[in-house]
Amino acid sequence: MKLGVFTVLFQDRSLETALDLIKAHGLEMVELGVGGYPGKTHADPRELLQDEQKLTQLKTLLTDRGLGISALSCHGNPLHPDPKKAEQFQQDFESAVILAEKLGVNTVITFSGCPGESDHSRFPVWVTCAWPPEHLEVLEWQWQEKVIPYWRNMASFLQEHHVRVAIEPHPGFVVYNTETALRLRREAGDTIGVNFDPSHLYWQQMDPCVCLKSLAKAGALFHVHAKDTFLDCENIALNGVLDSKSYRDELNRSWIFRTVGYGHGEEEWKRIISTLQLVGYEGTVSIEHEDSLMSIEEGFAKAAAFLKNCLIQERVKDIWWA
C-alpha cells in the first residue's frame, strides 16, 4: 500500500506548492480533483486534453517529485433531476475518464448519483425508510428507470477507455452502503467498484473491516480514502444518527468528520490497515480532510504522520512473518 492525498485540500495554492508540501511529508501518490462538487482543482480535463504541452507539464511536475496519480476524482450527481446540472456533472465525468486514459490512470472516483422521485422532480430524493409504502415505489423507480440504465451505459463507456469507476458510498445518493454498492456492481458490471471511505460508514453504525472483506471478496475494492468521524454519544442519545444540521454546528450535531485518529484511535486504524493487507489491497490510502476543527495544514500533517506510523508497523509485521 502507498500513502497519498486528495489534492482538493490545497485548492487555495498552486499545484507546484501543493506537490512540494505533499512530497515533504513523505507521501507517494496524489488523487487529483478534476470536476464535480470539488471543482477542477489543479487539473482541468478539457484544458489538458486540448493542450499537449500542459499535459506534459503536469506529468513532469509529478515525476520530478517522484509522485504518482492514484485516481482522478469528480464527485458529482449525473442523475440530478435538473437537466442542466446533470449535464454538467456528466461532462465532468466523461472528461475525467478520457483524461485518465490519456494519463494511464485506471481509476476515476465519483458518486452513484441520486434522481428525484419522478421525471417531474426538481431536486434529488434520497429514500431512507421503507414506509409509507410509496417510499419503496420511489426507490424501485429510481433504480429501474434511472440508476441501472445510466450505469450500464457508462460501463460500456468505461470499457472503451480502459478505465474503471470507484463509486464512493455516501448518504444522500442511491449507493450509500455495502449492499447498494454491490447491487450496482451486479447490475452494471465489474468496471464498477468502490472508493472506500470509513467516515461515511461510522455514523451509520457500520464496521469498516466487515465491509472491506465483503467488498474485496466481490472484487469491488478499487480505492481507499482516509477520513474519520467523531460520534457524539450524548447527541446521538438525544436525536439519533440522522442529522441535517449544518456541519458548522459541531456542538449540536450527532457526528462530525475528523482527521484520522480524532474520531477513532490508533488501534482502530491499525485494524483497518491490517484488514486491507489481509484482503490483498495494494492500492493507495488517500488522505481526505474535512475536519472543521482543524486547519488544513494541521489536519493533513497529523493524518500523514498518523497513517505513516500505522503503515510502517504493518510492513514490519510482514517482514517478521516472512
* Nearest one of 315, 225, 264 to 7, comparing CA atoms: 225
Rounded-to-integer distance, Cα 139 and Cα 86, Å: 19
Give the model's pLDDT for residue 318: 59
DSSP reduced 3-state for 301: helix
Chain position carrying cell 450535531: 253
Q: Would you place residue 40 in the very low, low, confident or very high pLDDT band (cuts 50, 70, 90)?
A: confident
Q: Would you place residue 42 in the very low, low, confident or very high pLDDT band (cuts 50, 70, 90)?
A: confident
* Nearest one of 131, 108, 111, 114 to 45, comparing CA atoms: 108
Mean pLDDT of the 134-156 span:
98
Rounded-to-integer distance, Cα 287 and Cα 259, Å: 9
pLDDT tens digits, one per residue of 193-243 = 999 999 999 999 999 999 999 999 999 999 999 999 999 999 999 999 999
Residue 100 confidence (pLDDT) above 90: yes
DSSP reduced 3-state for 220: coil
Angle at 60 between CA 54 and CA 61, to 5 degrees: 90
Average pLDDT, the chain: 95
Q: Would you place residue 59 in the very low, low, confident or very high pLDDT band (cuts 50, 70, 90)?
A: very high
Which residue segment(s) compose the domain that 125 sits in? 2-321
CATH code, domain with 312: 3.20.20.150
Contact at 8 Å (CB) between 166 and 108? Answer: yes
Mean pLDDT of the 283-308 span:
96
Q: Which of 32-36, 41-45, 257-261, 282-286 has the lowest mean pLDDT?
A: 41-45
Query: Mind giving me the DSSP string for 112-136?
Result: -----SSTT-SS--------STHHH
Give the model's pLDDT for residue 312: 67
Burial level of 169, CB count in 10 A (0-12/13-18/19+)? buried
pLDDT tens digits, one per residue of 126-137 = 999 999 999 999
Rounded-to-integer distance, Cα 146 and Cα 150, Å: 6
Give the model's pLDDT for residue 316: 58
Strands (DSSP E) contained in 11-58 are: 29-33
Residues 6 or more apart whose Cβ sits within 8 Å of residue 93? 35, 36, 74, 76, 78, 108, 110, 154
Total domains present in the chain: 1
Residue 110 confidence (pLDDT) above 90: yes
The H or E element containing residue 238 is: helix 233-239
